[in-house]
Chain A
C-alpha cells in the first residue's frame, strides 16, 4: 500500500495544479469541480485504508528549510483519525462550495482559482504534521478570501473584506509568536517543528510552567482570533454576510475550524498548567460567546448577519468541549467541529440562494417561501434544526457529548451554556417562520424551487453527512478515539 503514502501530498498538489490549468485556459468550472471531487475520492480511499491505531499514517516528508541550530523544517504530511475527520469535512464542503458557485459568475477563472486555493490551504493545514506548514497552509487561504469577498461580495464588501483580513493576519501573527515560543520552550538540541517529535519530547518532560503561562495566552489569543472567540469576533459576522456563498461556506465551515484544530493539537495536550492559570478567563469568554453573542444573534434583522453571528456563537460550545479536557468532551468537540462545518456550509449556501430568489437579505421582507419552494424550505429547515442541536442530526451528537464531558469538570459553566440551545432555537425558528411561512410577499421575480437533484445534490450531500453523523456517530468516534486518547493520556 505504498502509493497511499502519497495521497496526502496529492490532495494538496491537485488543487494547485488545477489553478495552474485554469490560469492557462482549461475549462474553468469543470476543472474545479473535477479536482474537488477527486480530492473527496482520495479522502474516502484514505478513510477505507486507515488503521484504527494511534499515531500518524501515510506520512511523507521532504526537507524544505535547513538552518542548523535554528530551524529544520520539513514538509511532512500525514493522517491520523483527527485529521481524517477534518479533511473529510474539507473535501465535502469544498465539493459543495464549488458546486453551488454561480454558473455565470464574472471573472470566472479568478473566482474558481480563489475557491480552489482556499480549499487547498485548509486541506494542507489539516494534513501537515509540521508546525511551520500547519501555519503556512492556513495562511494560503488569506489572500484568496480577501479577493473573493472584495470582488464578488455583497453589501459593505470592501470594509468587511479588509477588516476580516487584517483581523486574521493579526491573529496569525500573534499565533506565530506563540508557536515560536512553543518551539523555543522545547529543550535545546531536541527542538523540532514536527508534531510527532514534539509529542515524544513532551510525553517524557513538560514545558516549564513559567513558559506555559506566556505561551498559553499567545496561542489561545492567536487561535481565538481565527475562531472568532469573544472579544475578537467582530470580523466574522460582517465578513460572512458580505462573502459570496463559496467563500462563506469554506471559511465558516472549514477554515474557522483550523483554530480549534490547532488548540486541540498544541494547547490542550501540552499546556495543561497554562490552562489552569487562565482557564477561568477562558470559561467566561466562552460563556459570553454563547450567551451574549446568542442574544445579539436574536436581534439580527438580516439573514446573513444572523447566520454569521450564529456561527460565532456555536464556537463557544466547541471551546467548552476543549476546555473540559475530558475524553468525552474532546470527542464531542471534534464531532461538533465537523457537524457545525457541514451545517454552516449548508445554511450559508442556502442563504445565498434565498437572497438570489427574493432579492433581499432582510428577514422582514421575506415570507411564505415554503409554498413556492418546498425543497428549499426542507433543506434550510434541516440545516436550522441541525444547528439548533436537534437529535438525529450531527450537531446534537457533538453537543450532548460536550455537555456530558464538561459537566464533570465545570458544572456551572455547563449549566449556563445549555441555555444557549434555547437561544439558538429562538432565532432559528423565528428566521424559519419569517422566511418560509406567513403570508407570501411579492418578490421582484417569480420564485422557483430547485429543479430536482441536479441542483440540490450539493446540499443533499451536506444533509446526508449530517444525518450520517447524527444517527450513527460511532464511525466518526472510532476514527477520532485513538487521537483523543493520545491527547488525554499524556
Chain B
C-alpha cells in the first residue's frame, strides 16, 4: 500500500531529524522528494488485485489509483517549492517539510475510503495537518489570521459532516457506502437520507471551497505560505472532489431518487461558485488572493461536471482535475519562486516580467491562459468536457452561467498577462536568473500544459478505465 510506504518515509525522516538536528532542511526535502518519487513509481509496479476491498473500509480501484498518483505528484511539487523558500521560515523548518507527507497519507487514504468512518478519519488527518501548515509563519500576522479562519470554519464544517454521518448511521445501521446504497434502493423516500446528504455536502463544500462555504478561501490563500497555498488549491480541492464523486456519483447516495435533489443542489452551488468566484476576483490586487477566488470558480466548474451525476460528467471532472492541477502547480511554483525577486505577490510587481525573465512570464501566461480555458492549452479540454456533459444533461441555465463565468475569468487572467507583457519594468530591475532545476521544472510543466491540450491518449484512456467497473 502506497500509504504505508509514504508513512514509513515520513516517520523515518521525523526520527532522523530528531536524532540529527543539525541536518539541513534542504537535505530533508530532497530525501522526502526521493521517497515520494519512489512511492509514485511503485504505484505502477504494485500488483493490485481487481477491486481489492478490505473490510468494507478501504478499496483500491482505478479511481483510487488515479487520485493517489495525483496526490503524490502534487506533494512532490509542493516539497520542491518548499525546499526553495525553506530558509525564510524562522524555525521548525524540517517539520514544515515532513507534515505535508502526513497530509498526503490522509489524502491517499481518502481516495480509497469506502466507509464514512475511513472518510472521516482520513479527512481529519488532512484537515488537522493543514491547520498547522497554514499558520506556520508564526511571525506573520496574516499567516496567523489565515490559520485562525481556517480552523474555525474547518471545525464548523467537520461538525456538519459528523452530523450527516450520524444521520446515516441512524438510518442504515452502518457507515459503509455500499450498505447505504443498498438501503437507499430499498427505501428511497426515507427523509433521513436527503438530510444527511445535504449535511455531508456542506462538509465537503468547505474542502472544495465552493460557495456558500468558501469564505475562508481568499484570506487563507493569501496568508498561508505559498507552497501550502498550492497544496490547498490542488491537494485539498482534489480530496474534496474524490469524496464527492465516491459518495454521490459512484456509490453511497447514487440512486435515482436522490439524483434530482442532489443534482440541483450541486448545480446551484456550481452557479454561485462560478459567479462569485469570477466576479470577486476582478478587483483583486494580490495574486494569491486572486487565485483564491479563481479557485472558487474552478470549484464551480468542477461542480458543474459532478452535478450531471453521469458517467460523462465524471470523466470530464477527472480530466479537469488533472489539467487544473498542472496549471495551478505551475502558477504557484512561479509565484513562490518570484516572490523574493519581485518583493511580494502584488500584481503590479509583475510589471515587465517578460523582459526580466521571458521563461517565467511565458510559463505564467500559459498557466493562466490554461486556467481561463483557452485552447490549445490543457484547461480547455477540461472545460470542453464539463460543458459537453452539462449540455447533454440539458441544464442550459447552468451552461449559460458557465459561459459567462469563463468570459469574466478571462478578463482577470489577462490582467496579469497584461502586467507582465504590456508594462515596462518599473524600476531598473535586474533580469531574474533561474537555476537549471527550476528551468527544467518550468519547461516540463509548461510543455505538459500544451501537450495535454491537444494530445492526451494515455490520460484519457486511464480516465475512461476508471469508469469501467
Contact = CB atoms under 8 A, between A and B. Distances in A.
Interface in A148-167: 150-151, 158, 162, 165-166
B450 to A, nearest CB: 10
Contact of B374 (A63, A142, A162): A142
Count class of interface residues, chain B:
35 or more
A146 interface: yes
B464 A139 contact: no
A143 B464 contact: no
B391 A158 contact: no
Nearest to A64: B455
B376 A169 contact: no
Interface in B421-469: 421-422, 453-457, 460-461, 463-464
Contacts of B422: 150-151, 158
Contacts of B456: 64-65
Contacts of A70: 312, 315-316, 385, 388, 464
Most chain A CB within a 10 A radius of its CB, from B407, B410, B421, B457:
B410
B381 interface: yes
Most chain A CB within a 10 A radius of its CB, from B387, B407, B464:
B407
A490 interface: no
Contacts of B399: 177
B369 A143 contact: yes
A208 B453 CA distance: 32
B16 interface: no
Interface string B295-332: 00000000000000001100110010000000000000
Given A66-B464, A68-B464, A147 B421 contact: yes
Contact of A151 (B407, B421, B464): B421
A149 B47 CA distance: 55
A16 to B, nearest CB: 10
Contacts of B463: 67
A136 interface: yes
B354 interface: yes
Given A67-B463, A146-B414, A176-B387, A136 B380 contact: yes
Given A64-B454, A65-B460, A75-B454, A180 B407 contact: no
Contacts of A146: 414, 417
B418 interface: yes
Contacts of B319: 67
Contacts of B414: 146, 162, 165-166
Interface of A: 23, 62-71, 75, 107, 110, 132-133, 135-137, 139-140, 142-143, 146-147, 150-151, 158, 162, 165-166, 169-170, 173-174, 176-177, 180-181, 183-184
13 contacts: A62-B455, A64-B457, A67-B312, A68-B464, A75-B455, A132-B384, A143-B417, A147-B417, A158-B422, A162-B414, A169-B410, A180-B388, A184-B388
Given A62-B455, A136-B375, A169-B410, 20 more contacts: A64-B457, A65-B455, A66-B457, A66-B464, A67-B312, A67-B319, A67-B464, A70-B388, A132-B384, A136-B376, A136-B454, A142-B374, A158-B418, A166-B407, A166-B410, A166-B414, A173-B406, A176-B387, A183-B388, A184-B391
